[in-house]
A = this chain, B = another copy of it.
Amino acid sequence: MERSIDAQLDELKKLILIMGGHVEKALFEVSSAIISKDHSRFKKVFELEEKINEAHVQVDNFCVQLLAKQSPVAKDLRFILSIIKINTDLERMGDQTKNIAYTAQEYLVRPALQQIQWISKMSESVSKMVHGALDAFVRGDVELAQKILLMDDEVDEFKNKVISDLAQHMKKNSQDVEAALDLIVMARNFERLGDHATNIAEDVIFAFTGKDVRHGGIYG
């Protein structure tokens, strides 16, 4: 007979995956809105962000109930604590995506810059990261989680290239300062999204190995 906690942990997993799906969808919508200059798509981003917030509270309450009623220990406890942290990161990813949408709405009324092209690449990379991190989570695939940590370095490097390119552009085209600043803000939001996906990957490693890889693992 299956322990009742297992069924509940499975339900939690499903909730987290649905929430992760909303984040991926929001990332796709926001970059599509920007690239196609289709303002109507921003509405979808805001709707998805609300769904993410709703799921956030739902998952949190579920975890509290589970801890109170089942008093889980060892692996199950680590698993639930990881979900609490992953849940926080996914919620912040929703916030970040909404922030990108706000900045993008301002950006789209300014003269277009060709540098906007990077947005698809960053959006895809972050989407892959969060998908991979959650995949690693449900499968308990620590090796995959470790790969996600490396992907974050690429996102950071790419963001640095985008910013230094835009700085050069601003120096020569003072009329584009506001538009370039919008792009820089968005690039930094994507960097933060990558950081949150990295946090999730670290939580996966902790959930399945009990090993703390944060801070270079020196205190773990």
Contacts and interface: CB of A to CB of B under 8 A. Distances in A.
Copies in the complex: 2
Per DSSP, chain A at the interface is: helix
Contact of A167 (B81, B177, B220): B177
A175 B168 CA distance: 10
Interface string A69-80: 001011001100
A141 interface: no
B215 A53 contact: yes
Contact of A57 (B77, B78, B181, B212): B212
Interface in A142-199: 163, 167, 170-172, 174-175, 177-178, 181, 184-185, 188
Interface residues of A, number: 38
Interface string A201-220: 00000000000101100011
B57 A68 contact: no
23 contacts: A53-B219, A54-B219, A56-B219, A57-B212, A57-B214, A57-B219, A58-B219, A63-B81, A64-B77, A64-B78, A67-B67, A67-B77, A68-B73, A71-B71, A84-B85, A91-B214, A167-B177, A167-B178, A170-B177, A172-B174, A184-B184, A185-B188, A188-B188
Interface of A: 53-54, 56-58, 60, 63-64, 67-68, 71, 73-74, 77-78, 81, 84-85, 88, 91, 163, 167, 170-172, 174-175, 177-178, 181, 184-185, 188, 212, 214-215, 219-220
